[in-house]
Amino acid sequence: MANTTTDADVVIIGSGVLGGLAAYELAKAGKSVLILEAGPRIERWKIVEEWRNSTNKSSKGSPYPNPPHAPNPFGGNYLVQKGPVAYGTTYLRVVGGTTWHWGSATWRMIPNDFKLNTLYGKGRDWPISYDTIEPFYARAEAELGVNGRDNEDQSGQNGKPWPPRSTPYPMAGLEFNHMQTRLGERMQGAGFHPIHEPNGRASRPYDGRPQCGGNASCNPVCPIGAKYTGDVHIEKAEREGAKVLDNAVVYNIEVGPDGKIAAIHYRTPDKTEHRVTGKYFVLAANAIEAPKLMLMSTSPAFPRGVGNSSDQVGRNLMDHTGLGMAMTVKEAMWPGDGPTELLVFLNGRDGPFRKDHAAYKHKIRNDAPNREVAGELIKQGVMGSKLDQQIKFKVARQLTFAVDLETLPYPANRIVPSKEKFDAIGIPVPEFYYDVDDYWNAGRDAAVKDWHRFAELLDGEITHIDLGHQNREHIMGTMIMGADPKDSVVDADCRTHDHANLFIASTGVMPSGGCVNPTLTGAALAIRLAEVIKKEV
């Protein structure tokens, strides 16, 4: 029999960046807040030491805990893939969430992304506009400590500062390193405009975080805490009185007779069951674990699961499913100095072409390929001083490019609780069906044409192209936002249509994602929904 343990004004499920932001906003307004997190607390110094001493540096998940009661999808053993395209995400279930190992790209969407269907006849429109969310973008940037360039055109079109901003970036953008500067100089003359990627690294001391030291280990962990991570706002919320229960795996959302959410049920690692009540509830787990939980929470009144009268929970799964390319150039560029990513080209972000093919973003990875280069040379039998010379020569000239492609929300692309596989405490694991369409394929072809042009401009040779549907871990769309309860899960305030006291703080509510990372948009929506709850509690 479940035990009632704690009551709160607001119960938040999930302790990632969005749950932490909502918790902090509510707690500092005087609301009692309880946060439930499936995974454990972690300490930065331990993760740094684990990574330093690990022999497995091929996976950015290797230094993080992977407990049986809250497994992570590293290594492919947790997720069940049923579709033609594998959805190979690598999120973390720990206090602070996946931002522990994110690259910290913090893009705003542009106004046209919010009206994709109206302008281009594709996908869905949002029930809100860019102007509605803009003030919350500004607040989210201040909370996360975003650095960027105020005068850049991020549409890739007209050269004027875009999108519109009511406030400057909290911090000046980090400078390009040598490689990024040279790439920008050599490609700009051909119409490819170099853009500084806005990101959540401190370019000066900010909010208790030190200035970025350029360690180039943003993935899997910033060793000094210059990069924003979700535990920042969890700790801020705790200082305002919020309480956190870690290792609390929620398995059921209980609906009361009035249709409102009455309680949350969770299990601890020893399989003990507990029940928590509240006035309002915020589902802030990621856009895979959250819809899985909603679909598991069936009852006679809601046989399809919580919030699912539209049958859209778990559907419309999106990502920025992408491509990768490696190139060897004649000029020594020396990648690997400074943050892992900073330079992008956005010529494929917006324009009439979106009627015909997906938008896309080119990014240049700033990883030093020492390990890969050394391994290949050793396979070739190169040893001794010659090996050392060849590593230096090749590492300086090997560049890695990636493309993030827009995907559209299709109901067939979905996540459901598995009926075949369960974790150590008896909870179903996520099961996926995912595929791409001709719109994505046409965007892929346009991006590959760009790559061949890059090779000409850089006097380089493309040595490898990966068209294998790379997952970018930008989980979107599974609890989609809309004005009509018949074809959406939440309204413009991120309140579920079916339950007046259940809100969803997740990138899963996004009806479109453009081609840029969704975290800042999710953060803005989390702050916005907290404002709604403040007025009602």
Domain boundaries, the chain: 3-51+90-536
Residues in the chain: 537
Query: What's the confidence (pLDDT) of residue 5?
Result: 53
Please state, in angstroms and rounded to a whole number, the distance separating the CA atoms of residues 532 and 373.
53
Q: What was the pLDDT predicted at 219?
A: 87
Per-residue pLDDT band for 443 (boundaries 50, 70, 90) equals very high
Phi first, then psi: what are they for 400, rounded to 5°?
-125, 125
List, as own/partner pairs, every contact residues 257-264 make where C-beta atoms lie below 8 angstroms and the sequence separation is at least 24, other chains included.
Answer: 259/301, 259/498, 259/499, 259/500, 260/499, 260/500, 260/501, 260/502, 261/306, 261/499, 261/501, 261/502, 263/4, 264/11, 264/13, 264/36
Distance CA 396, CA 336 (A): 9
Amino acid, res. 140: A
Q: Which of 69, 474, 497, 499 is catalytic?
A: 474
The structure tokens 């590293």 sit at 74
**Is it the case that residue 3 has pLDDT exceeding 60?**
no
Instruction: Using DSSP, state whether 179 is helix, strand or coil.
Output: helix
Average pLDDT value for residue range 83-99: 95
pLDDT band at 4 (very low <50, low <70, confident <90, very high): low
The predicted model gives 134-144 an average pLDDT of: 98
pLDDT band at 431 (very low <50, low <70, confident <90, very high): very high
Predicted confidence (pLDDT) per residue in 389-409, tens digit: 999 999 999 999 999 999 999
Which of the listed CATH numbers 3.50.50.60, 3.40.50.1100, 3.40.50.150, 3.30.70.1350 matches domain 3-51+90-536?
3.50.50.60
Task: State percent of the chain over pLDDT 90.
Answer: 90
Res 234 pLDDT > 90: yes
- CA pair distance 308, 416, nearest whole angstrom: 12
Q: Residue range 149-176: average pLDDT? A: 90
78: its two tokens = 């947790």
- Beta-carbon contacts of residue 523 (< 8 Å; ≥ 6 apart): 17, 18, 21, 140, 143, 144
Q: What is the pLDDT of residue 368?
A: 86
- DSSP letter assigned to residue 173: P
Please say if 499 is a catalytic residue.
no
Task: Please say if the pLDDT value at position 2 is more than 60.
Answer: no
pTM over cut 0.85 = yes
Q: What is the pLDDT of residues 469-528, one digit of tens each?
A: 999 999 999 999 999 999 999 999 999 999 999 999 999 999 999 999 999 999 999 999
pLDDT at res. 418: 98
Instruction: Decide: 306 and 500 in contact? Cβ < 8 Å.
Output: no
Mean pLDDT for the chain overall: 95
